Amino acid sequence: MRIALAVLRRDRRSQVATVLVALGVMIAVSLVLWLVAAPNGLQARADRTAWRDMATQGTRISITRTTDSFRDRLVERFEVARDEPGDVPVAAGLGRFPEAGEVLLSPALADLVRTTPPERLGNRFPGRVVGEIGPEALKYPGELVAVVGRTAVDGFHADGLRNTGGSYRDDYHGMLYLLTRVGLVVLVVPCLALVASAARLTAAKRERRLAALRLAGASPRQVIVMTAVETAVGAVVGSVLGVLLARPFSHLTAKIPWEGGTWFPGDFVPSPAVVAAVAVLAPVLVIGAAITGLRRVVSRPLDAEQQRRVRSWRLLMIVGALGVFFLGITYAQQARGANQFTVVLLGLGAVAFALVLAGPVVTAQVGRFFVGRWRRPSTLLAGRRLAGDPVAAFRGSAGVVIAVFTGSMALTMLPGLESQVPFRDSTWREDAVVAEDVTTDLAPLRAATPAPVVPMVDGFVSSGEEGVNGSYVVVGRCAEVATVLNGLRCGQGPAVYTYDRLYGDRFRTAAREGEVSLVLPQHYEVRSFEGSGRVQAVIDPELLPALAGRVSMAGVPTTTMNREVVHTALVGTLPGARLTDGEQRGLYGDTLMADLERATVIGLSIAALLGGIGAAVAAAGSVIDRRRTFGALIAAGTPIRVLAHALRREVVLPVFTVTIAACGAGIVVGLGLLTLARGLVGHGEMPLTPWVLAPIGVGLVVALVAALACGPVLRGISPRDYAAE
């Protein structure tokens, strides 16, 4: 221990290495703590909003949930009514159960109601505001939520508005859970690569020093203790700094929006047990990596500087890892529960690890290629280095390769996710609001809204066979229906407008209560309908005169000036109706896609930054380790410029080759994850764009910039260093 501490006090290169180890461990610890806290944030949201679950638990109350929009913000409205007398348990933050004629509003929604004319917003929540919803029952600060008390509600039954423990794994059929775990895996690997690069700084000089001590009589235990002490100083300091940095980093992360809002400050705070585990495990891994590299020094000190060979079997690891990954995809498509994605994530981590493991093999082959075909001295020097010590030469490229793999995987998935989460219903026009399940007269709606109201009846046309629904159709005047329905062009006289054909002539209303069954005329005109949504046909009411005066749907075309008034009028005059709002659906989809794109940019930026830092640390360490060699070359007359070119080629050449394989693996894995996500959601496409190749170029730029970090270290070497050695 005294020798190790003396080395740290007197050897400048060991001091630089210790500082870099501390910085690497600090970045890795703070980032890992942030990554493991992300599921905690999602779980905290799920726990606060578990009272909104519509599971049938009892018969004490009835509850229905509706999503509205106001000024490009989503509004969650819950209408509740008592089914039985007695106390109703409520979640923390709700305060009390609202009786009929009473309303609970979130603070942000209460402010909007106070400052907005009631016909634009407040009339959606009829009753007296008796309290505000606290943060314990909100998904995020500023969320717009209302709980409206009613006399009766035709909805789900529950035994209260209480939190029984939520699960963020159910968010959008488990896809959000999958994506957070994927991000955790692919960002932890660059963290480990960075820590490994930091732990291997000055490894060559340390091996020579320890080999000399072994030959002088030092025992294996003394050599291991010296290495552990020398490495532990930087690793422990870095771990402590990483833990201290994680707290402000979590508050900064809470400002990143997700699902329409930011986070509460305590959402991204990991548990003390996790903090302690990461803080202890990081230095242990760094010290373990440093000690593991001493196998030759301990057992064969005379062979300490012998270059290690790599075997071609490492390439087979990629095939095996991909096999595990697709086995996990198959398992996840059939399984359910908390362990549904475990094998997928293990396979994903195995692919990333296999790319790092196979990298030295490709590096050695690249080195041999350029040794045999060199044209410039710098290329020869770089080729000899790559072929002679491929493990050390590739070490700096590992983080960049993982960043390329992650980028290709993300850019493969994003275009497909855009068509999946959530899909846009193209049935109704974007500027229309349609109320379904209408059971009341439309006269109050016509009086409350300045826009024309389109009455419709929805139902099915089939052959009449039991159990066959047939074609979903709406009955209404074509000229009116065309103002709210996409793809409808009207002609003169009554007709049936369809984009396929009707398989029968029996019309049955969609509503089970008061169901009506009619038969279409024997002869009627059929016209083309270019719709692409749920409605397969439109029937003029003259063909079914028995439906006169009956209404089950109401559509209202809107403008930017009256949309909020129309929406509020529909909510206020048609209680229990289900609204279909194209703008609202688009708002939800745009919000979620913006979240995914933002998370992708942040994740790829972190991966690229970690890869670049790791490559820079490894390149600088490579120069420090070969100080004697470079000093000899400079003493022999080799220009610094030639050595700088050789160092850049050492970093860029293996990156260029291995990143092509990493990009291909990223595309394959991305398609696999997209297949799994498509199975979770049940729809969507799987497009590929040329952007999936962009990470290769970005990886080369990051590697080149990282290679420039060795320039100052190289310029500090002189022939005197060779003489001193």
Tens digits of per-residue pLDDT, 216-258? Answer: 777 777 777 887 787 888 889 999 999 998 888 888 888 888 8
499 and 558 in a single domain? The answer is yes
**What is the pLDDT, as a whole number, of residue 419?**
62
The answer to whether position 60 is within a domain reads: yes
By percentage, how much of the chain surpasses pLDDT 70?
A: 86
Lowest mean pLDDT among 30-34, 615-619, 714-718: 714-718
675 and 706 in a single domain? The answer is yes
Q: What is the pLDDT of residues 661-676, one digit of tens each?
A: 888 898 888 888 877 7
Average pLDDT, the chain: 81
Greater confidence (208 vs 362) lies with: 362
Question: Whole-angstrom Cα distance, residue 163 to residue 146?
Answer: 17
Lowest mean pLDDT among 128-132, 143-147, 161-165, 524-528: 161-165
590 and 564 in a single domain? The answer is no
Q: Say which residue the tokens 């799987």 belong to.
A: 686
599 and 724 in a single domain? The answer is yes
Average pLDDT over residues 370-377: 84
- The two three-digit tokens of residue 395, written as one number: 């070490």
377 and 459 in a single domain? The answer is no
Q: What is the pLDDT of residues 47-72, one digit of tens each?
A: 888 888 755 555 678 888 888 888 88
The answer to whether position 381 is within a domain reads: yes
Helix (H) or strand (E) holding 717, with range, is: none
The answer to whether position 702 is within a domain reads: yes
**What is the pLDDT, as a whole number, of residue 10?**
77
Angle between helices 316-334 and 640-681 (to 10 degrees): 20
Q: What is the pLDDT of residues 299-352, one digit of tens each?
A: 665 555 555 667 788 888 899 999 999 898 888 877 766 577 788 888 888 898
Residue 211 has pLDDT above 60, yes or no: yes
**What is the pLDDT, as a whole number, of residue 191?**
74
344 and 440 in a single domain? The answer is no
Confidence class for position 293, pLDDT limits 50, 70, 90: low
Residue 614 has pLDDT above 50, yes or no: yes
Please tell me which of 397-401, 478-482, 607-611 the model is most confident about, judged by mean pLDDT. 478-482
Confidence class for position 612, pLDDT limits 50, 70, 90: confident
Range of the domain at 637: 307-422+582-725
Lowest mean pLDDT among 6-10, 99-103, 696-700: 6-10
Quickly count helices (H) and strands (E) in the chain.
Answer: 22, 16
Q: Nearest-CA neighbor of 714 among 634, 617, 612, 637?
A: 634
Residue 713 has pLDDT above 60, yes or no: yes
Half-sphere CA count of 292, side-chain side, radius 13 A: 9
Domain count, the chain: 3
DSSP string for residues in 607-621: HHHHHHHHHHHHHHH
Q: Any residues with CB less than 8 A from the CB of 550 and at least 6 apart, and which?
A: 457, 509, 516
Q: Say which residue the tokens 């703590």 belong to.
A: 33
**What is the pLDDT, as a whole number, of residue 683?**
46
By percentage, how much of the chain surpasses pLDDT 90?
A: 20
Structural domain ending residue among the three candidates 549, 581, 613: 581
Greater confidence (622 vs 432) lies with: 432
Q: What is the pLDDT of residues 154-176, one digit of tens each?
A: 666 677 776 655 555 444 445 55
**What is the pLDDT, as a whole number, of residue 682?**
45
682 and 722 in a single domain? The answer is yes
The answer to whether position 192 is within a domain reads: no
The answer to whether position 596 is within a domain reads: yes
Q: What is the pLDDT of residues 450-509, one digit of tens each?
A: 899 999 999 999 987 776 778 999 999 999 999 999 999 999 999 999 987 788 899 999
474 and 407 in a single domain? The answer is no
- The two three-digit tokens of residue 105, written as one number: 């509003």
Query: 211 near 297, Cβ under 8 Å?
Result: yes
537 and 628 in a single domain? The answer is no
720 and 653 in a single domain? The answer is yes
Confidence class for position 134, pLDDT limits 50, 70, 90: very high
Structural domain ending residue among the three candidates 581, 599, 628: 581
498 and 573 in a single domain? The answer is yes
Q: Nearest-CA neighbor of 420 among 675, 67, 603, 72?
A: 675
Question: Whole-angstrom Cα distance, residue 127 to residue 100?
Answer: 8
**What is the pLDDT, as a whole number, of residue 420?**
59
Greater confidence (677 vs 504) lies with: 504
Question: Whole-angstrom Cα distance, residue 382 to residue 390?
Answer: 11
Q: Any residues with CB less than 8 A from the CB of 532 and at least 6 apart, and which?
A: 426, 486, 487, 499
The pTM score is 0.75
Residue 292 has pLDDT above 80, yes or no: no
- Measured over the CA atoms of residue 206, residue 209, residue 213 and residue 214, the dihedral's sign is positive
Q: Say which residue the tokens 């909003």 belong to.
A: 49
**CA angle (429, 172, 58) in 5-degree steps:** 105
* Residue 539, helix vs strand vs coil: strand
320 and 382 in a single domain? The answer is yes
The answer to whether position 723 is within a domain reads: yes
**What is the pLDDT, as a whole number, of residue 251?**
82
DSSP string for residues in 43-85: HHHHHHTGGG------SSEEEEEEEEEETTEEEEEEEEEESSS
Structural domain ending residue among the three candidates 139, 165, 191: 165
Lowest mean pLDDT among 26-30, 87-91, 174-178: 174-178
Confidence class for position 627, pLDDT limits 50, 70, 90: confident
Residue 616 has pLDDT above 60, yes or no: yes
The answer to whether position 177 is within a domain reads: no
The answer to whether position 586 is within a domain reads: yes
